[in-house]
């Protein structure tokens, strides 16, 4: 096993930097895989890393935001685990009546921290934490181990039978017949978001990696809110959000990575809102309003309101048009766990 690295040391590093960067998957159109790959369900929720060190549990979003007050039942379940310290990676989800992960439903829990509000929301919208990786166990850093070994240790050392809050993420091996396409077709028939293909012998790295690949059933991604239109008729709040994404790599950032380029306009979304969302979003948009458009492209919307590009929205849509616009977009919710400057158009490599 790799050399000792205490969870206490890992927790201290999180405190200092404000985050632990999780391993991220790359979108792909690939369907040809060999037997070294395994396949997990792609969840539509909030990525979270949990650390238990010295009796304390921390639950952190991928940006390092604390989530303990919003999901206290997950903290309780992690604290009740037998054994010692650990660090795990997974996805917080809400499930609809058919057992599908539902990001819009999860929005009813996201951002709540007041104990009374959280208690009421827990009854309406129970959440689950699907664990799929182990980063540390006791005094050992497990990120250098092969994925199959990390998953075996996760399953063997955590108790997934004591309640519904913590759930093990099963995987499928590469099938002899039909390959990855057969698995993806089955996932899509079940109403899943898709699959994550993972190299079973790969180590865990704190960045986006070609060793984890996203196979999607339908189009959809995060987009940046750069403006909005006024409501018409009996509608309240606003008419539509004006959306965009950053160009990839406009130059070197201070961390050595490619800095995002210009914010490109991708269209507007006017569906998917309830009355509460329209009111709440309008308040946030008004606080961000600015006189100039943040988009590099001309936006042909009369009397549009422009906002600082800070909010990130999860959008479902059918496809990209040839001129880079969204076709049939639908608003699903805000993503508080992702920075606007990270948002680029997702396309499989080579396209």
Among all residues, which ones are annotated catalytic? Answer: 42
Tokens 């689950």 identify what position? 128
Distance CA 319, CA 313 (A): 17
Torsion (CA) 185, 190, 196, 198 in degrees, nearest 10: -80
* Count of CB atoms situated within 10 Å of the CB of 92: 26
Q: Are 263 and 307 in contact (CB under 8 A)?
A: no
Phi-psi group of 233: left, alpha or beta (phi > 0 → left; psi -120 to 50 → alpha; rest → beta): left
* Sequence-ordered list of residues with C-beta below 8 angstroms from that of 114, at least 6 positions apart, any chain: none
Which residue is associated with the tokens 């008419």? 239
Separation of alpha carbons 41 and 184, rounded Å: 9
* Torsion angle of the four alpha carbons 11, 13, 16, 22, in this order, in degrees rounded to the nearest 10: -90
Residue with tokens 């042909």: 300
Name the helix (H) or strand (E) containing 119: helix 115-124
Q: How far apart are CA 150 and CA 144, in angstroms?
A: 9
Tell me the C-alpha distance between 24 and 209, whole Å.
6
d(CA 236, CA 232): 8
The alpha carbon dihedral of 168, 342, 337, 7 has a sign of: positive
């Amino acid at each position: 096993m790799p050399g000792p690295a205490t969870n206490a040391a890992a927790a201290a590093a999180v405190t200092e930097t404000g985050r632990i960067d999780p391993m991220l998957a790359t979108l792909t159109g690939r369907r040809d895989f060999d037997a070294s790959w395994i396949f997990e369900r792609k969840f539509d929720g909030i990525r979270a890393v949990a650390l238990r060190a010295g009796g304390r549990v921390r639950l952190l979003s991928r940006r390092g935001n604390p989530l303990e007050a919003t999901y206290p039942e997950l903290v309780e379940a992690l604290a009740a685990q037998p054994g010692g310290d650990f660090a795990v990676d997974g996805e917080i989800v809400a499930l609809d009546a058919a057992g599908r992960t539902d990001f819009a439903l999860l929005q009813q829990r996201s951002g709540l921290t007041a104990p009374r509000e959280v208690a009421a929301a827990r009854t309406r919208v129970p959440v689950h934490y699907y664990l799929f990786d182990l980063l540390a166990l006791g005094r050992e850093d497990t990120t250098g181990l092969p994925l199959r070994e990390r998953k075996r240790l996760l399953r063997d050392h955590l108790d997934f039978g004591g309640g519904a809050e913590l759930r093990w993420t099963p995987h499928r091996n590469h099938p002899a017949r039909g390959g990855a396409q057969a698995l993806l077709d089955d996932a899509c028939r079940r109403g899943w978001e898709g699959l994550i293909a993972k190299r079973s012998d790969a180590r865990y790295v704190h960045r986006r990696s070609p060793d984890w690949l996203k196979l999607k059933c339908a189009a959809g991604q995060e987009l940046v809110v750069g403006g909005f239109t006024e409501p018409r008729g009996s509608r309240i709040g606003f008419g539509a959000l004006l959306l965009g994404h950053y160009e990839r790599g406009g130059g070197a950032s201070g961390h050595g990575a490619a800095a995002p380029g210009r914010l490109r306009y991708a269209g507007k979304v006017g569906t998917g809102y309830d009355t509460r969302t329209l009111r709440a979003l309008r308040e946030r948009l008004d606080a961000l309003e600015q006189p100039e458009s943040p988009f590099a492209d001309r936006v042909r919307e009369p009397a549009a309101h422009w906002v600082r590009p800070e909010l990130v929205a999860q959008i479902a849509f059918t496809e990209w048009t040839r001129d880079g616009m969204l076709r049939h977009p639908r608003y699903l919710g805000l993503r508080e766990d992702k920075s606007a400057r990270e948002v680029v158009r997702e396309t499989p490599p080579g396209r």
